Amino acid sequence: MALSPLDIRRAFGALSCELGDSGEKGEIVVIGGAALVLLFEARESTKDVDAYFLSPKASTMRAAIARVAERLELPEDWMNDAAKGFFVGVTSGDELYESEFLVARAASTVQLLAMKLAAWRDAIDRDDARLLLSKVAGSMEGVWELVKPFVPPPQLDKASYAFQDLWEAVHGSP
């Protein structure tokens, strides 16, 4: 099932209600396709919402997410924290949704770019990374220095090569 921006916002509203009913307030950082769909209308939909759960604890969030999935007939993993292992620090970028019981922000543009470069599945990530790179000003070396701290160390070489390739495609040779 594909999730449009409207579907995601509706699910965020339902999640806010679930958290409020439990007396909890949630805060999440959204990455991946969902962040790009909501921030830049980069595409019409995404398959899920990848998020880092800041609060409440992950088990509480997963239970509320499961209730939303059931209520709205969404896939069980419509929102998940499976990408948490790819975070090197957690940044907080633009607000995507805010209510009394839920605040959802995107990761910073630089962190979103770093994560796309670290994953670098060429056909999937190239357009997203190109869009993100267009939102970051600076020289090749300067932008890489902003991105590099958010790349997991095991992916630094892959991300560096992907960055160079992407930079050349967008800006020409350095």
Counting every residue written for the chain, the total comes to: 174
pLDDT tens per residue, range 132-156? 999 999 999 999 999 999 999 999 9
pLDDT tens per residue, range 65-113? 999 999 999 999 999 999 998 899 999 999 999 999 999 999 999 999 9
Which band of pLDDT confidence, cut at 50, 70 and 90, is reported for residue 174? low
Distance (Å, whole) CA 1 – CA 93: 27
- CA dihedral (154, 160, 162, 164) in degrees, to 10, reads 180
pTM of the model: 0.93
